[in-house]
Structure 1
Amino acid sequence: MNEKQLQRVSHDKAFIAALDQSGGSTPKALAAYGIKENEYNGNDEMFAKVHEMRTRIIKSPAFKADYILAAILFENTMDRKIDGELTADYLWNKKGIVPFLKVDKGLAELTDGVQLMKPMPDLADLLKRAVQRNIFGTKMRSVIKQTNRDGIKKIVKQQFEIGRQIAAAGLVPILEPEVDIHSENRAESEKILKEEIFKELSLLPSDLKIMFKLSIPEIDNFYSDLINGQTNIIRVVALSGGFSRQEANDKLSRNNGLIASFSRALAEGLYAQQSDNDFDTVLASSIKNIYEASIT
């Protein structure tokens, strides 16, 4: 583990940029960026287009370590280069931004009110490649749709089990048991989720370091006891979860110590057709607003 990166992730005031749209969500991300599906053919061209988008964001002068703590990459992005350097190396060497990797393979069908992660049979090989590519940590997402204790318990158990495997490979896992912001009884789901998280935390050795990526809670500062005083947790970050950027920022700013890890909200207002000046201006404004909401 890179100790300099660990110190930065643990203590610096900034937020995490999520640039990890995968195969299933890439067409939607490109469409929001102004690139229609008839402008590319097949996965190879699609991934080339999205890498161009991510490269433009990363190389922008607005995308800098003063505001951006880390960036979460998709596997395809990890394997590509920016100006002759692998993406993770470019992020750290040129920008001082810590690289993470999305490792899950998407969501399983809804069962017991939740969507677990699909099986990851190639995870060990992926983690080995991530270490070789100088990745610091990982991220993996599952979703809670309904207030079902059995389902939520399964979500948390799966996240921690795979998190242990990731930590054993020398990487810091971000556990992401998302609570759907549109679900009924969301506050009750979050209450059960936190109870199950604390049960699993009690079983971890004190030197095993993890992070959490959680939905911005229904009750302000609900996760303060995860953010403060837990030896295993080095950071708790928030996803925008379907809120507009303004709404997500407003809610985030009321949660002390919780920092952003936004994807769609970060790229909101960015278009392929913009001039570089307009693109950088919009991105700079977005980054500044998200940063300010993250340092409360």
Structure 2
Amino acid sequence: MNTKQLDRIHTGKGFIAALDQSGGSTPKALLQYGIQEDRYSNEEEMFALVHEMRTRIIKSPAFDSKYILGAILFENTMDRFIDGQATADYLWDQKGIVPFLKIDQGLAEPEDGVQLMKLIPGLDDLLKRAVQKHIFGTKMRSLIKEANPAGIQKVVEQQFAVARQIASVGLVPIIEPEVDIHSKDKQQAEKLLKQAISTQLAALDKDVKVMLKLSIPTEDNFYRDFIEDPHVVRVVALSGGYTQSEANDKLARNHGLIASFSRALSQGLSDQQTDEEFSTMLAQSTQAIYEASIT
């Protein structure tokens, strides 16, 4: 583990950029960016276009370590290059931004009010490659739709089981049990989630470090205990479908919680913009998300 990177994520001011839409969500991400589906005819062309979009974001002067602590990449992005340098190395060497990797393969079918992660075949190999490519940590998402104690228990147990495997190779896992912002019993689900996470944190070996990526809680500062937990490097928040201004308003009321936004970060960016317009828009977004993250 790179101690410089660990220190930056643990104590740095700023937020984590999520550039990890993948597979099924890639066409949606491209569409939001102004690239219609008729611009590509197969997966390879689609991924090439999405890499161009991400390269444009990463190389923009607005994508600055003054505001951004880390960036979460999709596996395909990790395997590609920016200006001849592996993406993770470019992020850290040229930008001073810590690279993370999304490792989940999407969600399983709904059961017990939740969606667990699909099994991750070849996880050992992926983690080995991530270490070789100088990735600092990983991210994996589950989804909680109802305040179902059995379902939430399963989500958290699965997340922590995989997290231990990730930590054993020297990477820092971001545990992401998202609570659907439209859930009719969101607050109750958060109470059950907090309890389940607390139990799992208490059972970790003392040297294991994790991060938590959680929906912005209904009750302000609800996750303060996690922010202070010695196992927890950082608690970050997902935007979860809120607009950027809604997400920022809610985030700003939670002290010590920082953003890890994807849609809310790329909101307003377009393939049709000049580089200057693009950078101006991205600068406005990073500034606003940064301000909400340092409260």
TM-score scaled by length of structure 2:
1.00
Q: Which runs of structure 2 are paired with 1:101-120 in the superposition (5 Å)?
A: 101-120=101-120
1:195-228 C-alpha deviation (Å, 9 max, x unpaired): 0001111110111000000000011110011112
- Code of the residue aligned with 1:260 in structure 2: it is A
Offset at residue 115 of structure 1 (A): 0.1
- Code of the residue aligned with 1:200 in structure 2: it is Q
Q: What secondary structure, in the 3-state scheme, does the structure 1 residue paired with 2:24 have?
A: coil
- Code of the residue aligned with 1:176 in structure 2: it is E
Offset at residue 267 of structure 1 (A): 0.2
Q: 2:12 — aligned with what?
A: 12
Q: 1:212 — aligned with what?
A: 212
Q: Which runs of structure 2 are paired with 1:25-174 in the superposition (5 Å)?
A: 25-174=25-174
- Code of the residue aligned with 1:157 in structure 2: it is E
- Code of the residue aligned with 1:60 in structure 2: it is S
Q: What secondary structure, in the 3-state scheme, does the structure 1 residue paired with 2:260 have?
A: strand
Question: 2:238 aligned with 1:242, yes or no?
Answer: no
Say what the alpha-carbon RMSD is for the aligned residues: 0.4
Question: 2:289 aligned with 1:290, yes or no?
Answer: yes
TM-score scaled by length of structure 1:
0.99
1:265-287 C-alpha deviation (Å, 9 max, x unpaired): 00000000000000000000000
Identity of aligned residues (%): 67
- d(CA) in 2 for partners of 1:23, 1:12: 31
Q: What secondary structure, in the 3-state scheme, does the structure 1 residue paired with 2:206 have?
A: coil
- d(CA) in 2 for partners of 1:38, 1:168: 44
- d(CA) in 1 for partners of 2:90, 2:125: 23
- d(CA) in 1 for partners of 2:237, 2:227: 12
Q: 1:253 — aligned with what?
A: 252
Offset at residue 121 of structure 1 (A): 1.6
- d(CA) in 2 for partners of 1:46, 1:121: 23
Offset at residue 169 of structure 1 (A): 1.1
- d(CA) in 2 for partners of 1:13, 1:201: 24
Structure 2 segments unaligned to the other structure (5+ residues) = none
Q: What secondary structure, in the 3-state scheme, does the structure 2 residue paired with 1:142 have?
A: strand
Structure 1 segments unaligned to the other structure (5+ residues) = none
Q: 1:273 — aligned with what?
A: 272
- d(CA) in 1 for partners of 2:231, 2:129: 25
1:167-196 C-alpha deviation (Å, 9 max, x unpaired): 001100000000000011100000000000
